[in-house]
Structure 1
Amino acid sequence: MTDPAPGAVLRGAVDLSSLRNRPQPAAGAAPADPGAASDLPSLIMDVTDALFPQVLELSRTVPVVVDLWAEWCGPCKQLSPILEKVVTELGGRLVLAKVDVDANPQLAQAFRAQSIPLVVALVGGQPVPLFTGAVPEQQVREVFAQLLQVAAQNGVTGTLPVEPGDGDAAEPAEPALPPLHAAAYEAIEAGDYPRAVAAYEQALAENPRDADARAGLAQVSLLQRVQGLDLQQARAAAAAAPLDVDAQFAVADLDVSGGHVDDAFERLLDLFGRLPGDERAPVRERLLELFGLVGDADPRVIRARGRLASLLF
């Protein structure tokens, strides 16, 4: 998170002017969806392009955290539950606005969401950049603590009234996770990725057809691989050694975790095409792992699979 000067709000990071003054519905028009505007405010809300002016106005009372995500984004699925948990525990001092970038292109453009997950705050109607990519829970807590300080410096100190149990009502009840899945989830929340990997691997050993365990293993393996990596250093190492498989893997993993999926696929496919036939297997395996992480139906995966097939044959 960028550290602003006391009493100042970060300006100019994104342009929200086009979203501030949308036309209001004409008199007599059909009421908005009851699950949308009428539910504002709440601790955790799904926000659309049309509802965003209300979110901006709300940010003049209480800081709003904006989570820009997409269904295909694996790191988003790791980060979103952490954001929801921490916001809920803060008891109304922050609000979480979730934005599906695929369904809300104007918001994605306004926030310049070139990679996701992207997390930005709104304080007094102005944007405050927070972070990009999946981060551990402890880092989320630290960033949110800084955000509350920035909000206080700018006179935004309201608290949203929360009824007992409201945090639990933000999400529908779900069936209990299988024991190994629950163990993996707890390990991820604690930032213990090796333990999470071990739990998912054990689940797959017991049931090789466990698709949820396979997807979870791919996601947490990626988080484990990128933990502690520095993007600039990784890019420099990859540029200095174009045929170094590990160096190219590191940048590809960082690109996927940051939402730059096409860049990651192109890097690995270029590497695959340049390597001798007997050295290609690890690259193919990493590509297939990332294909599964992003989703077989994703257009980027379909394109990359086609190019991989042409390189194989």
Structure 2
Amino acid sequence: MSDPTPAAAMRGAVDLSALRDRGTDPAAPAAATATSLVFDATDDTFAQVLELSRTVPVVVDLWAEWCGPCKQLSPVIEKVVTELAGRVVLAKVDVDANPQLAQGFRAQSIPMVVALLAGQPVPLFTGAVPEQQVRDVFDQLLQLAAQHGVTGTVPVEQPADADEPEARPVVPPLHQEAFDAIEAGDYARATAAYEKALSEDPRDEDAAAGLGQVRLLARVAGADLQTARAAAAAAPGDIDAQLLVADLDVAGGHVDDAFERLLDLFAASADDARVAVRTHLLELFSLVGDADPRVIRSRGRLASLLF
């Protein structure tokens, strides 16, 4: 959190005004309860989330189904929120299903985590971060909330079988190795772990998806979106420059923009360059998911360009 004052924390970076005066959805939580420490927030219900933040700090997790780092970070955030026992609640926002919220928060890359205090946004972090860093940032958030009088809590009821140990899903060793490597920023080791998992079981869909995600992370690591866009605009025929912007767009949730860029590039390229563009496009299709409407639509255009 770079600014200690919530009202100024993201001035000029976030515009939630269009969501403040929306009608409320009767299905949305008017206040957090023991069963809603973690809940989904939408474009239509966000006004209630803003109101809730006047009582208790609200952490907003902006994520997407196709986002590998989101799947690593979200369980960590949920765990820490649960352990805080009602002092913080978590609102999860699917950026694909809620474009107005994604635009309001200007989510150029995800996962993106923001807090709301008294209706004002406070930046927390972007990208998958280690659990200890999540805890440290949440401690700072609670201190900031106390300074501004947002000190409410929500009731937390223990389930009847609270004494029984919770069954945790078993993560295959190579998958766990990949998760640990990604958390450490060691994408080469994560790639090797997923590749080994696939060599042992070529039908391991989770390993295949993870491999695509970690390759994307490796390609965009250290890249600056504005610099990449400027370079691509200055050299429309530079294949590598265009591929990098497409990767950054997918990583940031701008999937349609990425696909359109590469399809336009494919249409304008000579035959020898088309192979690299098509291969990259197919990899991004697989990463987003074959059933995704954006993939289906873009596959149709690619087929028309091929034939």
TM-score tier after normalising by the smaller chain length: 0.7 to 0.9
The answer to whether residue 217 in structure 2 is matched with residue 223 in structure 1 is yes
What is the correspondence of 1:157-306 to structure 2 with a 5 Å cutoff? Answer: 157-160=151-154, 173=167, 175-306=169-300
Alpha-carbon spacing, 1:141–1:220, altered in 2? closer, same or farther (3 Å) = farther
What is the correspondence of 1:110-129 to structure 2 with a 5 Å cutoff? Answer: 117-129=111-123
Pick from 27, 33, 44: which aligns with 1:40?
Answer: 33
Moved more, 186-195 or 224-233: 186-195
The answer to whether residue 305 in structure 2 is matched with residue 311 in structure 1 is yes
Tell me the residue number matched to 1:28. Answer: none
TM-score when scaled to structure 2?
A: 0.78
Alpha-carbon spacing, 1:222–1:18, altered in 2? closer, same or farther (3 Å) = closer
Equivalent residues of 1:200, 1:217 under 8 A apart = yes
Q: Percent identity?
A: 70
Helix, strand or coil at the partner of 1:280: helix
- Deviation (angstroms), 1:103: 5.3
> What residue ranges of structure 2 are gaps of 5+ in the alignment?
none
Tell me the residue number matched to 2:144. Answer: 150
Alpha-carbon spacing, 1:271–1:142, altered in 2? closer, same or farther (3 Å) = farther
- Deviation (angstroms), 1:255: 0.7
Moved more, 106-115 or 245-254: 106-115
RMSD across aligned C-alpha pairs, in angstroms?
3.7
Equivalent residues of 2:53, 2:119 under 8 A apart = yes
Alpha-carbon spacing, 1:62–1:303, altered in 2? closer, same or farther (3 Å) = same
- Deviation (angstroms), 1:223: 1.6
Equivalent residues of 1:9, 1:154 under 8 A apart = no
- Deviation (angstroms), 1:78: 4.0
Cα deviation per residue 1:262-292 (whole Å; 9 max; x = unaligned)? 1111222222233321233222221111101
> What residue ranges of structure 1 are gaps of 5+ in the alignment?
26-31
Task: Work out the number of aligned pairs and report it.
Answer: 301
Alpha-carbon spacing, 1:131–1:10, altered in 2? closer, same or farther (3 Å) = same
Equivalent residues of 1:66, 1:99 under 8 A apart = yes
Equivalent residues of 2:59, 2:89 under 8 A apart = yes
Amino acid at match of 1:136: V
Amino acid at match of 1:293: L
Equivalent residues of 1:117, 1:259 under 8 A apart = no
TM-score when scaled to structure 1?
A: 0.77
